[in-house]
Each structure stands twice: as structure tokens, then as C-alpha cells.
Amino acid sequence: MDEIKFNLKKLTHRAKGDTGDFITLNEEACNGCGMCELVCAATLWSMKGGKARLAPRYRELCFECAACWEICEREAIDFHYPAGGTGLVIEYG
């Protein structure tokens, strides 16, 4: 199958304004299974010391797809969309 590439930056922009922290991790609940790292297309999750770690710059890099929240069986990840009017804006499609 042919590989399909697209440039997300050309299809989106980031609205101005403070998104607030829209993803949080409950480290006590995390068992280090690595599923969030596996599923994140933006490669914002990594594992450190047996726990998930979210990239500090996630606010400006996250696709807001909520896949990490959906996949976490321990419900260690909390996701909600950024504060009204901020965050990722899809311009086409």
C-alpha cells in the first residue's frame, strides 16, 4: 500500500489564547503499559521510570484527537478540549 503523507500545518492553525492544561495524568493510576505512547500520532507520550510522561510542549503540538484518553484502560489520562476558542483549528476538509 502506498504511503500517504500530509502536512498538518498547512491544514490547520492554532488559535491565539491560553488553552489551559487540557491533558492531565494521574501518575498513581498509570501502570506504564505504554499504550498512550503507541497511539499518539504526535509522539507526545514517552515512558520514564515505569510511568507515562507527556511532552511539556503538548499544548502547542497536540492534535486534540483524545486517542490517549480513549486507550488508557487505567483512566489515568484526563482529556478535555482546550478552553473555548483556543487550540487547534481545522481549516480544510
Q: How many helices (H) and strands (E) does the chain have?
A: 4, 6
Q: Does 77 bind ligand SF4 (CB under 6 A)?
A: yes
* Choices 6-14, 34-42, 82-90 (CB under 6 A): range interacting with ligand SF4: 34-42
Distances (CA, A) of 51 to 46, 69, 86: 8, 15, 29
Q: Does 34 bind ligand SF4 (CB under 6 A)?
A: yes
Q: Does 15 bind ligand SF4 (CB under 6 A)?
A: no
Q: For residue 60, what is its C-alpha cell?
A: 502547542
Q: Does 83 bind ligand SF4 (CB under 6 A)?
A: no
